[in-house]
A and B are shown apart, each in its own frame.
Chain A
């Protein structure tokens, strides 16, 4: 019997679940290690994997861990359906299939020498976390780091301790807001775009990366332009129904692009005309 080649992008590799951490009531972070004890495939911030939950199905999930660490892959997953429910219910020692990494990531090279503005909403912070890790690990390569994060409520905020730690870093500004704050919340209440008023930006020497619900990103891109950023310095991570992850099946076609292969990260001026097309 023929053995599948390990570099076949359609063949999942067995990974072992090492840890599952509950982030919010419905969002969990999984740490996976290669089942055969080897290193993980290197990935770029913004890339995703296809995670195979045996007997249930396959899911495209962005990698949310540190790209400098090659011993495990980290994914933050929101439990919203049968496959994600099963994935986040895995126990340490269980086996999960991993394909990838796939897709075009965030423009880490183009961002060198510039201020980096990270605008995230909800679970959209997960695909952006590797950007933050990389900027903070290579501080001299980048200018200021500005992180604007919006969540539904304080309880639904991701990576709370890390946000606080990032805020203490040199040349880093972290602003957080929630749509609905309880009485004990002493931070901002309002949508993520309202944070721009408090951000110390230098638009002419900045690059912006944003990820979140598509409606949010439409408002964010508009605000970034109002602030003075040009569309070629704004990047978005798009999401559609991805199946094969290598541009064969066409499930994730977005105008002339395949999200899985040409994205998920796109430069704003490349997809701007598509963003308000209802049919897409």
Chain B
């Protein structure tokens, strides 16, 4: 059976992370499972966790008042779900909905936040890695907003 440490170490997000830092992360990690249709978290709830998706698919949704939810993005195997735990006010901005059954590793963001405050080297490493994800998703969102497949005006 794969250990959490090995799973994390093999993931691109944690690549080349100092062994001490990795041990700290493993101490904050646990396996979780969500049934298809379940909400992993909802907007405005406290954000204290992030997830490494190992199986399944998660839809990030937003609910316009009195309307059906709009899926803004889906995340799949190998992707990191959630960064709101990292920045105040530490609340989720979207709903995360398990489209298919999801197996993931949950990392205790609240615990990690404390460790990052105590150890700024760790904090900088974590921030750099999340900044990369944010940059990729911002770029994808901008391309999505361009609506490039629409009929040119």
Contacts and interface: CB of A to CB of B under 8 A. Distances in A.
B140 interface: yes
A64 to B, nearest CB: 17
B38 to A, nearest CB: 15
Contacts of B76: 188, 197-198
A263 B63 CA distance: 46
A191 B140 contact: yes
Nearest to A124: B149
A216 B143 CA distance: 8
Contacts of B121: none
A189 B148 contact: no
Q: Is the interface of A mostly helix, strand, loop or mixed?
A: mixed
Interface residues of B, number: 26
Interface in B90-148: 99-100, 139-140, 143-144, 146-148
B68 interface: yes
B68 A194 contact: no
B147 A179 contact: yes
B100 to A, nearest CB: 8
Given A188-B76, A190-B73, A121 B143 contact: no
A278 to B, nearest CB: 16
Interface string B59-102: 10000000011111110111100000000000000000001100
B143 A122 contact: no
A171 interface: no
Tier of interface size on chain A: 20 to 34
Given A151-B149, A186-B99, A198-B76, A219 B59 contact: no
B151 interface: yes
Contacts of B99: 186
A152 B140 contact: no
Interface in A166-189: 177, 179-181, 183, 185-189
Contacts of A80: 151-152
Given A151-B149, A197-B78, A198-B77, A191 B144 contact: yes
Interface of B: 57, 59, 68-74, 76-79, 99-100, 139-140, 143-144, 146-152
Interface of A: 26, 78, 80, 121-123, 150-152, 156, 177, 179-181, 183, 185-191, 193-194, 197-198, 212-213, 215-216, 219
